[in-house]
Structure 1
Amino acid sequence: MRFGRREVLGAVAAALAAQQARAQLLDGTATVLVPYAPGVTDREVRALAPALSARFGRPVIVDNRPGAGGAIGGRAVATAHPDGMTMLYAAAAVLTILPLLPNAAYGFDDLVPLARVTNNTHVMAARADAPYRNFAEFVAYARANPEKAVFASSGAGTAVHLAGEAMAEVAGVKILHAPFQGLAPAMTAVFGGHADFVIGLPVAIMPAVRDGRLRAIAQFGAERSAFAPEVPTLRESGLDLVQSVDIGFFAPKGLPPALTTGWVDAVREGVGHVDFQTFAVRSQVNAAFLPPDAFAREIGRDRDLYRTLIPRLNLT
């Protein structure tokens, strides 16, 4: 099919008009806050930022705002003006956990799920000489030895901590929680025999499994991760529990519909771009876009579980 000069000029004009309309959505440079220290999460959104900037025709910058398990950055966005200029990129724990903690910095309704970007699984791994080789044997051991299995987590009240407590709750076992300042020292404690098991993302856990320092017990996703295909899920192991690490964008409540649509479309396009897909494979994260309603349903499922669990943990 051949296109005449008029058709070509018309297509160019339409594309320019669409770009101008998208640029008018944002009044200057947009900032995406990441409520954690530099690491996996901010690398994700930094990989996505060029596509967002191209889509909007405006700069999109990333600002790490760590502290209080994500509450400082979460509050900064929850109290921001809903003009599309300040967004949050974080794990779903900013809504499933933080608003449920004592002295919460913001409420559940102060942030709105905008778009999921990645979805990953927790992997539970024990010290190499643990007296259990799979999840069924772990449950049998923990039931016979209440509070003897020491769970090293990346911190009290974190998503990893709550995933471990949820597992123990559903399995009907009592474990002993030992919080550390991050996953690396928690893993070191397990390597040294000072704790019995740890939970983390495949990218962190699986290298130590494959070199023999840890023994994989189970993963928490609905299906086996491509980055840990040899590890059975909790459901395969007989426990009806699914826990995932959903990471994505959140907006202050009251974001106008046009801005919501603009951001969701920009994120969808960015996640599908070959550059981000390549980044995801290289970084061992699962690119898994979800729009607002579906993202909110995933968050609601976990929040219902944590609403009953957190009050029993005496978190301060």
Structure 2
Amino acid sequence: MKIFHSITSCAAALATAAAVSFTGMAVAQEFPSKPIHIINAFAPGGATDTAIRGLTKNSDAFIDQPIVIDSVTGGGGVAGILQAAQAEPDGYTLLVADTVLTTLALFQENLPVSADDFRPIGVFNLRGAWFLTRPSKNWKTLDEFVAAAKEKPGELTVGVPALSSPQHLAIIAIEDTYGIDVNIIPYGGGAPTMAALLGDQIDAAMPGVPAGLDSINTGDAVFLVASTDLELVKFKGDLTSFADVGIPHDLGIWTAVWAPKDTPDDVMVRLSEIFGGMAQSSEWIDFAKSYGVTPIWKPLDDAAAYIASSSKSMSDLAKLIK
């Protein structure tokens, strides 16, 4: 009887495992059966919003269901990120977020959400940030801005998309390199940061590319320096990067699509197939280059390793914050 019981239990276990495996395969094959929503935690019209809309513009070639972009702003990105983290981990509510997702904890303690609440589906672009001002300030170079900042310590105002953003860290790098102190103001995205600059509310701004591109080309904004090489950006004037002026930090900004951490493996693989197809399509590559961002595709584990390396660099720079 004991032997018979053991054999029966083994058979039952195998049957259960097969059923689970089959169910997983069925889920993956049927997914998605309804629209996928992607939460953008930053302002519409900014770099992250532009990137995800550009990526998903030709989604119907890779998925039979619509992809809907939902803007959920507030708290420097925390509101939207938290909503995405609390969503059902079924693959139907995702998050698009750039490097700021991994830098939030460097600036704010006891946050209700972090990058550990998500799994990366894939990194799909790499861009930089640029330091801009208005023609009325009469600063044509970074050195001229630095001279003005030294004359008025702590008085010049500089806008950034969020206090926990790579753009914020880029300003910290400038402060540390030149020994200056500026008043950093967060605006909840690249578009409102540029609106504040053009509206004469701040003296300078560090938005992520491509925010501000049209303003530079029309002469309404003046380019001073970029946080990294921007060889793909088509704007009027000469490119100067941090490396060119002796700032010892290269601050590229990646953008990724994320899923809640408990999303099943088979759904993650399917999502990676869908977004990988879009990220490697000629439509997205052409769109990305037209905006001056570098199209890349690093899925799942490769994305996690890439993000971890980037986070280490940002963490080291965050230690310079006064």
Report TM bin, short chain: 0.7 to 0.9
- The whole-number CA distance in structure 2 between the counterparts of 1:231 and 1:177 is 24
1:87 equivalent to 2:94? Answer yes
Q: Residue deviations 1:211-236, cap 9 Å, x none?
A: 33333111112453433472211112
Task: Measure how far apart 1:93 and its partner are.
Answer: 1.0
Q: Residue deviations 1:4-52, cap 9 Å, x none?
A: xxxxxxxxxxxxxxxx996424354332222234324344334444654
- Cα distance 1:262–1:215, how it changes in 2: closer, same or farther (>3 A)? same
- The whole-number CA distance in structure 2 between the counterparts of 1:89 and 1:220 is 22
- Cα distance 1:75–1:308, how it changes in 2: closer, same or farther (>3 A)? same
SS of residue in 1 equivalent to 2:287: helix
- Cα distance 1:81–1:21, how it changes in 2: closer, same or farther (>3 A)? closer
Q: Residue deviations 1:288-316, cap 9 Å, x none?
A: 222234433443345335546668869xx
- In the alignment, what sits opposite 1:61? 68
- Partner of residue 238 from structure 1, selected from 246, 249, 265: 246
- In the alignment, what sits opposite 1:39? 45
Amino acid corresponding to residue 38 of structure 2 in structure 1:
V
SS of residue in 1 equivalent to 2:140: coil
1:265 equivalent to 2:280? Answer no
- In the alignment, what sits opposite 1:74? 81
Q: Residue deviations 1:44-92, cap 9 Å, x none?
A: 3344446545434444333332222222221222233433222111222
Contact 1:33 1:64 in 2 (8 A): yes
- Partner of residue 289 from structure 1, selected from 277, 297, 317: 297
- The whole-number CA distance in structure 1 between the counterparts of 2:35 and 2:198 is 45
Amino acid corresponding to residue 180 of structure 2 in structure 1:
V
Task: Measure how far apart 1:123 and its partner are.
Answer: 1.0
SS of residue in 2 equivalent to 1:70: helix
1:101 equivalent to 2:103? Answer no
Query: What 5-or-longer segments of structure 2 have no aligned partner?
Result: 1-25
- In the alignment, what sits opposite 1:30? 36
- Partner of residue 284 from structure 2, selected from 260, 276, 295: 276
Amino acid corresponding to residue 203 of structure 2 in structure 1:
D
Task: Measure how far apart 1:250 and its partner are.
Answer: 0.9
- In the alignment, what sits opposite 2:22? none
How large is the RMSD of aligned CA atoms in angstroms? 3.5
Task: Measure how far apart 1:284 and its partner are.
Answer: 4.7
- The whole-number CA distance in structure 2 between the counterparts of 1:294 and 1:142 is 41
Q: Residue deviations 1:139-189, cap 9 Å, x none?
A: 455456533443233454444334322432344432222444655565465
- In the alignment, what sits opposite 2:10? none
- The whole-number CA distance in structure 1 between the counterparts of 2:144 and 2:306 is 30
Query: What 5-or-longer segments of structure 1 have no aligned partner?
Result: 1-19
- The whole-number CA distance in structure 1 between the counterparts of 2:107 and 2:148 is 32
Task: Measure how far apart 1:200 and its partner are.
Answer: 1.7
1:206 equivalent to 2:213? Answer yes
SS of residue in 1 equivalent to 2:248: coil
Amino acid corresponding to residue 24 of structure 1 in structure 2:
E
SS of residue in 2 equivalent to 1:87: strand
- The whole-number CA distance in structure 2 between the counterparts of 1:176 and 1:220 is 19
- Give the alignment's TM-score, normalised by structure 2: 0.74
How many positions carry a matched residue from both structures? 295
Q: What percentage of residue pairs aligned between the two structures are identical? A: 21
Q: Residue deviations 1:188-223, cap 9 Å, x none?
A: 655576643211234332333333333311111245
- The whole-number CA distance in structure 1 between the counterparts of 2:160 and 2:51 is 23
My pick for the range that moved more, 303-312 or 286-295, is 303-312
Task: Measure how far apart 1:114 and its partner are.
Answer: 2.1
- The whole-number CA distance in structure 2 between the counterparts of 1:171 and 1:299 is 29
- The whole-number CA distance in structure 2 between the counterparts of 1:237 and 1:144 is 20
Instruction: Answer with 1 or 2: which has the greater Rg.
Output: 2
My pick for the range that moved more, 145-154 or 71-80, is 145-154
Q: Residue deviations 1:260-299, cap 9 Å, x none?
A: 2222222121122233334334555443222234433443
- The whole-number CA distance in structure 2 between the counterparts of 1:281 and 1:223 is 11
- Cα distance 1:294–1:137, how it changes in 2: closer, same or farther (>3 A)? farther
Task: Measure how far apart 1:109 and its partner are.
Answer: 1.4
- Give the alignment's TM-score, normalised by structure 1: 0.75
- Cα distance 1:71–1:122, how it changes in 2: closer, same or farther (>3 A)? same
